Chain A
């Protein structure tokens, strides 16, 4: 075997190390950028947040089975749209090593959080920002990571 081929095997050392490290890093949750939401005064408007949690992790659903667990929560804090009714993703009931046989209510992977708003008849027309926060707490099958709150910012065009 030529010597250079030994270097081909070297990345394996790095890869195994990287896997060990990644397994202990908090997952990065993303919200896909959204096209401008067109909202007509006096009509309903829907905002769909497309959230992604990396594979191998889960987060508690909006209604965790244990009161100590921190729920997935979307809060709208500002913007022209009002009275948002939020629909969270349908949870899965899963058991893990740490749940001692009791299933817990979680969400995984890519999912939507949908908010149906009412656009006030007196809303100012033109573009505006609808802002809020998404709070979650993620774990894998062996460890958990501190709760995080990430900003949500959606551009709304009121017509």
Chain B
């Protein structure tokens, strides 16, 4: 099961946001999309989730995502968008249940509830199940949305800034969980991130973007180089060795 993106182009009006994007994301691996603000990362994820209709091809296991019916796409793709606007008066469990929308009826099958509770337990947020979204912090809300994205047992998991609003311990824990679940379930996971060092630690592959184009893709050690980082962000960096890890430090 592979996600294959080929020659993707997308424009908002006359403004080209994505140009000739091609890359592959493999099952059981976390592929991180990196780039400066307005590089086109969120637009790329919206295209991958089927919300936007770009030219080019996006195929999951050879099946075009654009050709899937909304129900089938929702079943195959679990997406977590950047923001949900004003939170509704829904509990975390109700929010996560929506990830299984295709299976919900007026009287909810207890097995569906139990399945979703399993996801909450896996994310260590089962204690929040009965809490309203309106009562939660931004970080807790993102965990509820992550649970929703995972609840549908997707083949492709798309996470847009999953660690925004999370403090450091929760950021590391959330990424550790995403990585573990990706490996266990053989998911194709594509995630947008900002922090280069966190990416170097958690991602199996990196797609580095600049001005709507891919300027490098591959293993973190091959893509997170000072030269490519400078092209993507316009910032000079140095690589420091810390045992077997590499730490990226901005210069100046």
| Chains A and B belong together in one complex | no
